Amino acid sequence: MNQLLTISELSDELGVTARTIRFYEDKQLLKPQRVGANRVYSYKDKARIKLILRGKRLGFSLDEIREYMDLYDADLDPMQVDQIRFLLSRVQLRAEALRKQQQDIQEMLGELAGIESECLSIVDDK
């Protein structure tokens, strides 16, 4: 099913506007094919946008997201060892930051649970 999608189909499916999708292309986050002047999107493009949206949920800027998508895209085989080492260090830094975020979330969930139980005890009392 190598379905190709128009921009409006895609925007509907993903819950973003066509403007947003074009904007991401402007920012070099996408490079869809063209049929004449019209853009057509593959399942890969769709997956990329999902990646972008996930990155945004996690609080990354589009610039950061592009950086890390370049990591995913990186064609490792032709790379020099130095470049790979560098890539590796970036990946590890990023992973560390993400683990930090998980901790942040854990703490916040804890605090929210505290509020929740306070609320419940008060409501139950009445």
Partner DNA sequence: CTGCTAATTGACGTTAGCGTTAAGTGGTTG
Partner DNA sequence: CAACCACTTAACGCTAACGTCAATTAGCAG
List of residues contacting DNA (CB under 7 A): 6-9, 17-20, 22-23, 27, 36-39, 56, 61-63
Q: Does position 56 bind a copy of itself by CB under 8 A?
A: yes
Question: Is the separation of the CB atoms in 48 and 91 below 8 Å?
Answer: no
Q: How far apart are CA 18 and CA 12, in angstroms?
A: 9
CA pair distance 104, 126, nearest whole angstrom: 34
Backbone angles phi, psi at 37, to 5 degrees: -90, -10
Considering the complex, state which of residue 37 and residue 122 has its C-beta at the smaller distance from a copy of itself. 122
Q: Is 120 in the site for a copy of itself (CB under 8 A)?
A: yes
Q: List the one residue from 8, 58, 63, 70 that touches a copy of itself (CB under 8 A).
A: 58
Helical pair 43-57 and 18-26, crossing angle rounded to 10 deg: 90
Note the residues at the interface with a copy of itself (CB under 8 A): 54, 56-60, 71-72, 74, 76-77, 79, 81, 84-85, 87-88, 91-92, 94-95, 98-102, 104-105, 107-109, 111-113, 115-116, 118-120, 122-123, 126
